[in-house]
Amino acid sequence: MSIKYTEDHEWVKVDGDTAVMGISAYAAKQLGDVVFVELPEVGRKMEKGDEAAVVESVKAASEVYAPIGGEVTEVNEALEDAPETVNASPDGDGWFLKLKIKDTSDLDGLMDETKYKAYCEGL
């Protein structure tokens, strides 16, 4: 499973025609303690760059954008009762949603882990 990152600190892990999406550890750290996550409805279709979710922390509310386009097939309902999971495991149990990939070319231009780490070091 390859993982790709956006400049807005979203990540996407691709497995066949499905992608799992969330926010990076860097983003979770910048947000501070996450207190609420608003997730989209299953079945919603989104394009690359569309607002996919909203994360509220003690510091601010932030939009999370879709790194790729597709149809939402599942959301992480556990985040409703335990939004702090985003801080504890941003690239694991803190995932936001799963998409059926619309167009794999949306992955072009996203950063691999090495490039993303270098990008974050430059911020």
Query: Cβ neighbours of residue 97 under 8 Å, at least 6 residues apart?
Result: 20, 21, 39, 40, 52, 53, 72, 74, 75, 76
- Apex CA 38: angle with CA 34 and CA 40, to 5°? 145
Provide mean pLDDT across the span 98-108. Answer: 96
Query: What does pTM read for this prediction?
Result: 0.95
In this structure, the dihedral spanned by the alpha carbons of residues 77, 87, 102 and 41, taken in order and rounded to 10 degrees, is 30
Distance CA 37, CA 39 (A): 6
What are the Cα distances from residue 4, in Å, to 14, 21, 34?
8, 10, 23
Domain 2-104 -> CATH class: mainly beta
Confidence of residue 2 (pLDDT cuts 50, 70, 90): confident
Please report, for the chain, the start and end positions of each structural domain, with discontinuous segments joined by +: 2-104
- Which pLDDT tens digit goes with each residue over 9-63? 999 999 999 999 999 999 999 999 999 999 999 999 999 999 999 999 999 999 9
- Which pLDDT tens digit goes with each residue over 69-91? 999 999 999 999 999 999 999 99
Provide the residue type at 42 as one letter: V
pLDDT at 1 over 90: no
Confidence of residue 6 (pLDDT cuts 50, 70, 90): very high
The answer to whether 76 touches 107, Cβ cutoff 8 Å, is: no
